[in-house]
Amino acid sequence: MKKLDDTFLARWLEGGLTPEEEREFKTSKDYDDYKRIMNVVDNLKEPTFNEDKAYASVRKSTIEKVKIRKVNFNYVYGIAASILVFLGVFYMLNLNEKTYNSTFGEQLAIVLPDGSEATLNANSSLLYDERKWKEERTVELKGEAYFKVEKGSAFKVITKEGVVEVLGTQFNVNASKNFLEVKCYTGKVSVSNKSQDNIILTSGKAYRTANGINENWGFNTETIFWKKGANSFIKMPLPKVIYALENQFNIQIKQSKSYNDKRFTGRFYNNDRDLALKTVFDAMSIQYTVDGNTVKLK
């Protein structure tokens, strides 16, 4: 069985591929994308650094034996100084924004300023404004997270597909392209999105919207599977299961068809990639081949 090659691209960049690997890579679909990306990357440069000015400043605080200036880290009065002018595009930076990203196969536990907790599943990101937290508890979520919310002011999770609002509860939010799934474990949760105004979920109730199709169902609140090392699904559209496999194991799954109509009910464990692939695709009667980090579905 071929070992997972998670350094391939690094070796390519340093010219460390074998002639065979090099040839094979150049003929692959991916190659052009990566080449194009590197053309942009290699034209990037860091912000200017005025070395002499910096040294003069250091010198004042050291060699000239002036009383050491305490650096003021309070940026509340400052305005974001790093403004990029890129071919007419301007970025404004928010100094109080905190962002958390989990990588492939990683779960990330976060404590929010009021003690509420969020655990991110693989390849997810969460963003919030620290300064505004006292008045409104709002986070932006891409991906999946399990929330334990302390009682307090309204707590909102904003995703591309809708907004989830709670007052002291535990719930799971899974959000990606044209997809939002919310499961309420304790307390009450309200979900509002483009199609329906307000859905209230109580303990054991779940709601999903996928490509405009909405569903409600009940589930067992005893276990939150992805937190315990497995990802579980109930009638989940197959593309989303595929997405979860890719996030957990850092692989690419190439589909020959769209599989939008296929649904998967079951679970895969996070510690064994090949078993997980077998579990999902055998259940769906889909044949596949594995080549390093790429899986091709037939």
Partner 1 sequence: MLDKDKSICKEANFHELFKQHSRTIRNYIYYKCGDNDLANDMVQEAFIKLWENCKKVKSDYALFFLKRVANNTFLNTIKHNKVVLEHQKTVKDNRDIENPEFLLEEKEFAVKVQEAIASLPEKDREVFLLNRIDKKKYAEIAEFLEISIKTVEKRMHNALKIIRKEIGNV
The residues binding partner 1 (CB under 8 A) are 6-11, 13-14, 30, 33-34, 36-37, 39-47, 49, 51, 54-55, 57-58, 61-63, 68, 71, 73, 75, 78, 80-82, 84, 86-87, 89, 91, 93-95, 97-99, 101-104, 125, 177, 250
The β-bridge partners of 268 are 231
Give least dist CB 188 to partner 1, A. Answer: 32
Give least dist CB 135 to partner 1, A. Answer: 21
Of 1 and 81, the one with the shorter C-beta distance to partner 1 is 81
Cβ neighbours around 173 below 10 Å, total: 23
- CA distance linking residue 295 with residue 222, whole number of Å: 33
Tokens of 286: 């889909």
Of 114 and 246, the one with the shorter C-beta distance to partner 1 is 246
Classify 254 as helix, strand or coil: strand
Q: Determine the residue type at 205.
A: K
First-to-last CA distance in the chain?
A: 20
Of 104 and 217, the one with the shorter C-beta distance to partner 1 is 104
Give least dist CB 243 to partner 1, A. Answer: 10
Give least dist CB 142 to partner 1, A. Answer: 9
Give least dist CB 246 to partner 1, A. Answer: 9
Q: Residue 263 — φ and ψ, nearest 5°?
A: -120, 145
Tokens of 60: 């004042």
Largest CA distance in the chain: 76
Of 16 and 218, the one with the shorter C-beta distance to partner 1 is 16
